């Protein structure tokens, strides 16, 4: 906060973030907690990571659901991910195709992420913390695969950048 003037146009903010703060990155790792979806700075970094900048190219995005979200779901889109990260999973795999399904499965996820999980030309994984905690080989594999996938991702950039944080407690008067 305070590093970039919030009053600048969205495109200027995005360019500054991509070319000055996220320069030379191949992967953006989003640690998703219960308040992540409400934060404008998270949205700014996500969108900035999804765009080829004047100086720096877009990044792959890996989402790690933190334990606080109590999420029991994951989203596999990287080649060979099921075999590498979830070899012990014996259940059936299902595909989601509706935004409402993703919103109910990932209630703490930023809308920009949800929109891109729906895009078939985007390989973006959501992994629970338990699959990387004390498992550096899993994290290393996910980062490498995400970097490779990010080069060819065709992100949905239609959502405008969030200009304000959102606090649902204030909306209902229960601070």
- 87-145 per-position pLDDT tens digit: 999 888 888 889 999 999 999 999 999 999 999 999 999 999 999 999 999 999 999 99
85 in Cβ contact with 131 (< 8 Å): yes
The region of weakest confidence among 31-35, 68-72, 149-153 is 68-72
- Give the Cα separation of 31 and 90 in Å (integer): 26
β-bridge mates for residue 74, sequence order: none
pTM for the model stands at 0.84
- Highest mean predicted confidence (pLDDT) among 71-85, 90-104, 137-151, 156-170: 137-151
pLDDT tens-digit map of 7-19: 777 677 767 776 7
- Give the Cα separation of 81 and 102 in Å (integer): 19
Closest CA to 75 of 60, 64, 87, 88: 64
Q: How far is CA 103 from the centre of its chain?
A: 14
When computed from its CA atoms, the radius of gyration of the chain, rounded to whole angstroms, is 16
Closest CA to 14 of 46, 57, 38, 39: 46
pLDDT tens-digit map of 12-38: 776 777 677 667 789 999 999 998 888
């Amino acid at each position: 906060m305070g590093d970039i003037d919030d009053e600048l146009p969205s495109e200027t903010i995005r360019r500054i973030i991509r070319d000055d703060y996220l320069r030379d990155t191949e992967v953006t790792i989003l640690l998703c907690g219960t308040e992540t979806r409400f934060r404008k700075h998270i949205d700014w970094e996500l969108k900035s990571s999804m765009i080829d900048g004047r100086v720096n190219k877009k990044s792959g995005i890996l989402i790690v659901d933190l334990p606080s979200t109590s999420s029991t779901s994951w989203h596999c889109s990287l080649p060979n991910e099921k075999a590498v990260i979830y070899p012990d999973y014996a259940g059936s795999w299902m595909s989601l195709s509706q935004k409402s399904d993703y919103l109910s499965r990932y209630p703490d996820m930023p809308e920009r992420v949800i929109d891109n999980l729906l895009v078939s030309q985007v390989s973006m994984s959501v992994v629970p913390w338990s699959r990387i905690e004390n498992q550096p080989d899993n994290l290393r594999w996910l980062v490498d695969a995400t970097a490779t996938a990010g080069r060819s991702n065709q992100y949905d950039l239609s959502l405008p950048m969030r200009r304000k944080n959102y606090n649902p407690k204030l909306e209902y008067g229960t601070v």
